[in-house]
Amino acid sequence: MKYRKWIIPRAEQEIPDGLLEAGFTPLLAAMLARRGMSDPEAAREFIYGGADSLLPAETMADMPKAAARVRQAIEGHETVAVYGDYDVDGITAACLVTSYLREQGLKCIPYIPDRLEEGYGLNSAALDAVSARGASLVITVDCGITAVQEALHAKELGLDLIITDHHECGAGALPEALAVVDPKRPDCQYPNKGLAGVGVAFKLLCAVDGDAEALLERYADLIGVGTVADVMPLTGENRYIVRRGLEQMEHRPRPGVEALMNECGGSAKRITATTVGFTLAPRINAAGRLGNAGLAAKLLLSHGLLEAEPLAQELCHMNRERQELEHGIWAEAHELLRRNPPDGPIVLASEGWHQGVIGIAASRLAEEFGLPCVMICVDGEMGKGSCRSYGNFNLFDALRACSDYLEGYGGHALAAGLTIRRDQVSQFRAALAEYYRHCPAPEHPALECELCIEDPAMLTMECVESLELLEPYGAGNPRPTLCLTDVVLERVTPIGGGNHLKLRLGKGGVEFDCVMFSRRESELGAREGDRIDAAFYPQINEFRGRRSVQLLMVDVRRADTCRECEDILVSGDLPGAWECEALCPERRDFVRVWRWLERSGGEVSGKLAELGSWGPEGMNPAKTALCLRAMSEESLAGLKCLAGELNITALKREGKANLDESPVMEALRSRLAEYRERRRKT
């Protein structure tokens, strides 16, 4: 079991009639209702929402000044430098603005700093270089919000500076630039604070050009890739932009994207946000991580496949090199932590690590140990670090609280970077540990299942395919995690050299084929024949021309029978509708429970969580609980449940008990009738 805590909705899922009448499948209707869209109009707006979801760019602070200066540069045929960042967001933003200005006939100089030599953000030497090349205007994208000294240097050089960024502003003053455009400025009224850096750059072009739709027609792919890669919320205008970008990449990709997809074998598949996040983005990022972000920019700016294909090949080669470096760093750090298990934030430093890939290793370690992680690459007297959060711990606030020990820092709540002197690492480690003790993460991440499947008809081919309308998935609109409770693990088959698993689950006469990646049989925590809870993503599997529903497992655990039995015996709740068919007791079930009580001397006590092992042999614990509840209602058994301990006493009553007419049995039959009627309608 990967997650310590599971959150499973116990209330019966809402499937609004209005959504069914509007043509949505039961599964999609239940998901939309779960996400607050029970009204057909709201659902259609979310799924099909168009250009009206785009917000007016001019409402962003300083945007009118920025747009006016760019129009002036276009009219005056000035030379403009576009200063980006070396990650996917920064590279796509730089390519976006560069492409647009070149189309307006300007000489445009894209400048992306060398991660290893120059580090993050605007630097004075770069400003000197672009000034020497004749630039009169510098536009930053995805960086610059903390570049106070560099903005002063630009002014000394006679350069006009427009900063576009989306990072946190920090506590200090804003840079003295001609315009500072950042939705996270305290005085900025722009509603969407979740724009990526490339999204802010797009808004600048919207304010300059005035035709957002025409811009999306040409550049939605660049904006979409940067937005997905930077894990921005895929709701509102971000969702519309990314959807347009995915459509463009699939049907009319620019040469660089087409060449990269061909090289990594993804051109034959449908392009989704997952494709961007796990196929395109890592390869574009690899160039920046290894100090050659210009290569990725050159690929995205290429004009034909002949130019793009060798660049794509080189990017894929760099990505493989990046993977090897990252694995070596992770293995070394993992061994250190295995010998000395951490009890607070992980802070590691080494001279031998590659600065460009420590962030990926930090992410893996944070996930594995359940703690924030800072990895620092030391060179001489200075070190540069990458920080990754865990469990919603706010890294940016933590770095600000420990800033006395840092030379500089920046980033987001969940990912950040820092610069530190070698002799301050120990003090910083202690200060961060102390801060964490007083301001820990709210709690360890839980596995939250959005829907508990109570009807096998919810997992038909049509229903599972309909979930594609919720795409693109990402932050703010996650891929739906569903669950099946109390299913039988019928078969476990190792695949992929034992590193992955195929599972067969069964419940109520229905069987499900499943696949679980990166989990060995010994790590599953359950054996064939066990009753388990299963969390999964439903998907359509295609193999040799045959299509079928397959469950992609997120996690499994032994079935939480305690909660269900407690609901039945203490809260008076009933099982889910689908389960009622299998759990509704018959006369022979009541006889088994009564004889078990008699054999036990008329009184039994035990832990509610272990009812399956100390109740009648082989009987489902929930069915046992339903029998006991009916017997209690008919005065055949006395029940006491306190602090997880259940005491059952056989009672003698006058007259014949009619268990079939007990309130719980009538309620079960009523629920079954409703369930069957709903299935008939859907």
pLDDT-derived band at 682 (thresholds 50, 70, 90) equals low
Assess whether pLDDT exceeds 70 at residue 1: no
Is residue 628 domain-resident?
yes
Is residue 305 domain-resident?
no
Is residue 645 domain-resident?
yes
Average pLDDT value for residue range 320-343: 89
Higher pLDDT, 441 or 315: 315
CA separation for the pair 226, 91 (Å, rounded): 8
pLDDT-derived band at 516 (thresholds 50, 70, 90) equals very high
Higher pLDDT, 653 or 649: 649
Q: Are residues 434 and 457 in the same domain?
A: no
Assess whether pLDDT exceeds 90 at residue 449: yes
Last-in-domain residue among 185, 216, 233: 233
pLDDT-derived band at 41 (thresholds 50, 70, 90) equals very high
Q: Are residues 493 and 423 in the same domain?
A: no
- Per-residue confidence (pLDDT) for residue 94, from 0 to 100: 97
pLDDT in tens, 51-63: 889 999 999 999 9
Q: Are residues 638 and 627 in the same domain?
A: yes
Amino acid making up residue 159: L
- Per-residue confidence (pLDDT) for residue 656, from 0 to 100: 81
pLDDT in tens, 109-137: 999 998 878 877 899 999 999 999 999 99
Assess whether pLDDT exceeds 70 at residue 32: yes
Is residue 50 domain-resident?
no
Q: Are residues 97 and 190 in the same domain?
A: yes
Q: Are residues 70 and 208 in the same domain?
A: yes
- What is the span of the domain harbouring residue 601? 561-681
pLDDT in tens, 591-631: 999 999 889 888 888 887 776 677 788 888 888 889 999 99
This prediction has a pTM of 0.80
**CATH number of the domain where residue 489 is located:** 2.40.50.460
Assess whether pLDDT exceeds 90 at residue 311: yes
- Per-residue confidence (pLDDT) for residue 169, from 0 to 100: 86
- Per-residue confidence (pLDDT) for residue 75, from 0 to 100: 96
- Per-residue confidence (pLDDT) for residue 486, from 0 to 100: 86
Backbone angles phi, psi at 494, to 5 degrees: -65, 140
CA separation for the pair 412, 195 (Å, rounded): 13
Q: Are residues 83 and 201 in the same domain?
A: yes
CA separation for the pair 660, 651 (Å, rounded): 18
- Per-residue confidence (pLDDT) for residue 14, from 0 to 100: 85
Q: Are residues 424 and 567 in the same domain?
A: no
Is residue 492 domain-resident?
yes
Number of domains in the chain: 4
User: DSSP of 218-276, one letter per residue?
Assistant: HHHHHHHHHHHHTT---SHHHHHHHHHHHHHHHHS--HHHHHHHHHTT-TTSPP-HHHI
Assess whether pLDDT exceeds 70 at residue 267: no
- The residues that bridge with 419 in the sheet, in sequence order, are 384, 408
Structure letter (DSSP) for residue 161? E
Last-in-domain residue among 420, 438, 456: 438
Assess whether pLDDT exceeds 70 at residue 266: no
Output the average pLDDT for the chain.
90
Q: Are residues 380 and 516 in the same domain?
A: no
pLDDT-derived band at 399 (thresholds 50, 70, 90) equals very high
Q: Are residues 70 and 31 in the same domain?
A: no
Q: Are residues 73 and 186 in the same domain?
A: yes
pLDDT-derived band at 424 (thresholds 50, 70, 90) equals very high
- Per-residue confidence (pLDDT) for residue 564, from 0 to 100: 79
CA separation for the pair 312, 508 (Å, rounded): 50
Judge contact between 249 and 257, C-beta under 8 A.
yes
Is residue 131 domain-resident?
yes
Average pLDDT value for residue range 384-411: 90
**CATH number of the domain where residue 409 is located:** 3.10.310.30
- Per-residue confidence (pLDDT) for residue 360, from 0 to 100: 87
Burial annotation 448-461 (CB, 10 A radius, 16+ → b, else e)? ebbbbbbbbbbbbe
CA separation for the pair 500, 554 (Å, rounded): 12
Assess whether pLDDT exceeds 70 at residue 531: yes
Is residue 296 domain-resident?
no
Q: Are residues 219 and 74 in the same domain?
A: yes
Is residue 278 domain-resident?
no
Cα distances (angstroms) measured from residue 647 to each of 600, 633, 640, 642, 650: 12, 16, 5, 9, 10
* The two structure tokens encoding residue 370: 């359940």
pLDDT in tens, 341-359: 898 999 999 998 988 889 8
- Per-residue confidence (pLDDT) for residue 681, from 0 to 100: 65
Q: Are residues 376 and 477 in the same domain?
A: no
Structure letter (DSSP) for residue 530? -
Judge contact between 234 and 46, C-beta under 8 A.
no
**CATH number of the domain where residue 141 is located:** 3.90.1640.30
Assess whether pLDDT exceeds 70 at residue 442: no
Judge contact between 105 and 95, C-beta under 8 A.
no
pLDDT in tens, 562-584: 777 888 888 888 887 777 777 88
Last-in-domain residue among 438, 461, 493: 438
